[in-house]
Amino acid sequence: MEVLSVASEVYPLVKTGGLADVAGALPLALKQNGVSVRTLMPGYPAVMRAINNPKVVGSFDDLLGAKADVLAVEHQGLDLLVLDAPALFDRPGGPYLDTNGKDHADNWLRFAALSKAGAQTAQDGIGGWRPDIVHVHDWQAAMVPAYMRFSDAREVPSLITIHNIAFQGQYGAEIFPDLDLPQHAFGIDGVEYFGGVGYLKAGLQASWAISTVSPSYAEEILTPEFGMGLEGLLSHRAGDLHGIVNGIDDAVWDPATDRNLRANYTATTLKNRAANKIALAERFGLDRDRAPLFCVVSRLTWQKGMDLLAKAVDDLVDAGAKLAILGSGDAALEQAFQAAAARHPGRVSLVTGYDEPLSHLMQAGSDAIIIPSRFEPCGLTQLYGLRYGCVPIVARTGGLNDTVIDASHAGLAAGAATGVAFGPITAMNLRRALRRAVTLYGESKTWTALQKQGMKTDVSWMKSAALYANLYKTLLAKKGS
Ligand SMILES: Nc1ncnc2c1ncn2[C@@H]1O[C@H](COP(=O)(O)OP(=O)(O)O[C@H]2O[C@H](CO)[C@@H](O)[C@H](O)[C@H]2O)[C@@H](O)[C@H]1O
């Protein structure tokens, strides 16, 4: 089976968050299920620099006003189709933000163009290749199914995956004439959303099936609390909605071979983690003592519950733990953590920015990772934590709920526990969970059992890739029927 995947970021070429990890790892796992994936992504400068010997397999003279080539290239096992459209993608800044941290003003055009190129590639094929299925990710690629639905060419079965429903790609009606869609597409069954244009809404409406990245979150988004305005449409399509939990690339995330660590280890050589803990203490300027070291690797936002953590820091230090934070995001939250670091020198420290190698070392050297998210479609850092013996302390929500087993009396007695989970999600309950983790850390046998049980958990893509392959098959069967 041949699948066209369309995504706005793909690890290892460009990553701002978990979407890139999934878009980069799922194709590799699908290969083992007899599914070959080609991934269409924008030709940002970092991508153009990284690829070698690309071949032009298609071109557009007028892709929503831009000239574009489609370059086929293989990169670290991924089969890529790079949309080389300099007017849209060759510019400083990140995939979505300019150098001042503001959205690129023409994001609506950039990602409509990506989607239009995706739709056309799916429908007409490219360089003699034709996909059986199109799988698109998040709002940036969500217009692919809409472009297919409103064109005269044959429609290809499509799946849209929601990684983060908080970002929906909503624009004013004034962009509609520039999207190259027929007038009737601007309706409730099309791209129209509250009088404007909604990219994610359009994708959810037009796609043959919808998935999100954990079973719990698939249920949560049917409610007003989590659906962010789309719960009505999603409930209407509940029969086509699937929750498939994310896996991780266990070759990239393997403590036995990871080159970002000071010392490699396995579940039977957990003592080697100590060298990584020292490396972290040096990097963060934290005291080198026997106290538990907790960490955070996250965007510093309300979604991730970072304001709750800011309220719990003093109590965490009081309980005897140290805290290392890697992240960036809301200025107010960065300041709150800087202030906490100033109040607690040697006990709390923040590294701002995005640092992939350091994120690996943090999983390998910290005793626990704190993930107090208010909502979490799946979450990947708890999966990395499980694999690295870095015990996850998580809010009971979405995918966190589906992947971490709480160290309750029953969980411990059954030998099933892998972490600490808390809810309802409040600062007070987070404080309690952190204190509970410090106590568990003090019972070294229990703690080691938690670490080992986590490391035994299958967090690979194996099971979930098979579920995606089955879903693709169901869609193909629908096409035939
Ligand atoms: N400062 C930093 N330096 C280095 N690395 C950093 C970093 N901050 C974050 N990261 C990395 O970025 C990724 C973040 O992934 P998450 O799943 O936690 O959330 P995100 O909200 O981006 O993804 C959305 O999509 C994913 C994928 O489906 C869902 O799991 C998730 O719930 C959903 O919100 C992880 O690989 C993490 O290690």
The answer to whether the CB of 246 is under 6 A from ligand 1 is yes
Ligand 1 atom closest to residue 299's alpha carbon, by position in its atom list: 8
Q: How many residues does the chain have?
A: 481
Which residue from 141, 86, 137 is spatially nearest to 112, judged by alpha carbons? 141
The CATH number given to 2-247+462-480 is: 3.40.50.2000
| Confidence band, pLDDT 50/70/90 cuts, at residue 286 | very high
How many angstroms does the Cα of residue 183 sit away from the middle of ligand 1? 38
Which residue from 318, 403, 343, 339 is spatially nearest to 369, judged by alpha carbons? 403
The CATH number given to 270-456 is: 3.40.50.2000
- CB burial of residue 436 (10 Å; 0-12, 13-18, 19+): middle
The answer to whether the CB of 403 is under 6 A from ligand 1 is no
Res 400 pLDDT > 90: yes
Residues whose CB falls within 8 Å of the CB of residue 425, separated by 6 or more in sequence, listed in order: 305, 308, 372, 373, 374, 395, 396, 397
Residues whose CB falls within 8 Å of the CB of residue 337, separated by 6 or more in sequence, listed in order: 300, 306, 310, 313, 325, 348, 350
31 is in an annotated binding site: no
The answer to whether the CB of 382 is under 6 A from ligand 1 is no
pLDDT at 480: 76
The mean pLDDT value for 357-376 works out to: 98
CA distance 427 to 465: 36
Backbone angles phi, psi at 426, to 5 degrees: -135, 165
The answer to whether the CB of 374 is under 6 A from ligand 1 is no
- Token pair for 421: 């989970």
ipTM above 0.85, yes or no: yes
The SS3 call for residue 326 is strand
Strands 348-352 and 322-329: what pairing?
Answer: parallel
How much is the pTM? 0.96
Residue 138 and residue 200 in contact, taking contact as beta carbons nearer than 8 Å: yes
pLDDT at 345: 98
The protein residue with its alpha carbon nearest to ligand 1, atom 22, reads 17
Amino acid identity at 44? Y
End-to-end CA distance of the chain: 18
> Which of 298, 350, 371 has most ligand 1 atoms within 8 Å of CB, for mutation?
298
- Percent of the chain exceeding pLDDT 70 equals 100
Res 481 pLDDT > 80: no
Q: Do domains 2-247+462-480 and 270-456 have the same CATH topology?
A: yes
pLDDT at 474: 97
Torsion of CA 379, 385, 386, 390, to 10 degrees: -150
The answer to whether the CB of 43 is under 6 A from ligand 1 is no
> Per-residue pLDDT tens for 23-58?
999 999 999 999 999 999 999 999 999 999 999 999
How many angstroms does the Cα of residue 380 sit away from the middle of ligand 1? 6
- Percent of the chain exceeding pLDDT 90 equals 99
Amino acid identity at 431? R
Residues whose CB falls within 8 Å of the CB of residue 183, separated by 6 or more in sequence, listed in order: none
Res 428 pLDDT > 80: yes
> Per-residue pLDDT tens for 302-336?
999 999 999 999 999 999 999 999 999 999 999 99
The answer to whether the CB of 18 is under 6 A from ligand 1 is yes
The protein residue with its alpha carbon nearest to ligand 1, atom 15, reads 18
pLDDT at 312: 98
CA distance 191 to 80: 28
Which residue from 284, 264, 283 is spatially nearest to 274, judged by alpha carbons? 264
Amino acid identity at 61? D
The protein residue with its alpha carbon nearest to ligand 1, atom 35, reads 18
The protein residue with its alpha carbon nearest to ligand 1, atom 18, reads 379
The mean pLDDT value for 433-452 works out to: 98
The answer to whether the CB of 327 is under 6 A from ligand 1 is yes
Res 341 pLDDT > 80: yes
| Confidence band, pLDDT 50/70/90 cuts, at residue 479 | confident
Res 427 pLDDT > 90: yes
How many angstroms does the Cα of residue 27 sit away from the middle of ligand 1? 18
- CB burial of residue 152 (10 Å; 0-12, 13-18, 19+): exposed
How many angstroms does the Cα of residue 20 sit away from the middle of ligand 1? 9
Ligand 1 atom closest to residue 399's alpha carbon, by position in its atom list: 32
The residue extents of the domains of the chain are: 2-247+462-480, 270-456
The protein residue with its alpha carbon nearest to ligand 1, atom 28, reads 163
| Confidence band, pLDDT 50/70/90 cuts, at residue 439 | very high
| Confidence band, pLDDT 50/70/90 cuts, at residue 154 | confident
How many angstroms does the Cα of residue 18 sit away from the middle of ligand 1? 4
Ligand 1 atom closest to residue 398's alpha carbon, by position in its atom list: 32
The answer to whether the CB of 355 is under 6 A from ligand 1 is yes
The answer to whether the CB of 405 is under 6 A from ligand 1 is no
DSSP state of 154: P
How many angstroms does the Cα of residue 76 sit away from the middle of ligand 1? 21
Residue 82 and residue 54 in contact, taking contact as beta carbons nearer than 8 Å: yes
Instruction: Please compute, for residue 288, the number of CA atoms within 13 A of its CA located in the half-sphere on the CB side.
Output: 10
Which residue from 343, 420, 469 is spatially nearest to 32, judged by alpha carbons? 469
Task: Give the residue carrying structure tokens 């086929």.
Answer: 72
> Per-residue pLDDT tens for 219-253?
999 999 999 999 999 999 999 999 999 999 999 99
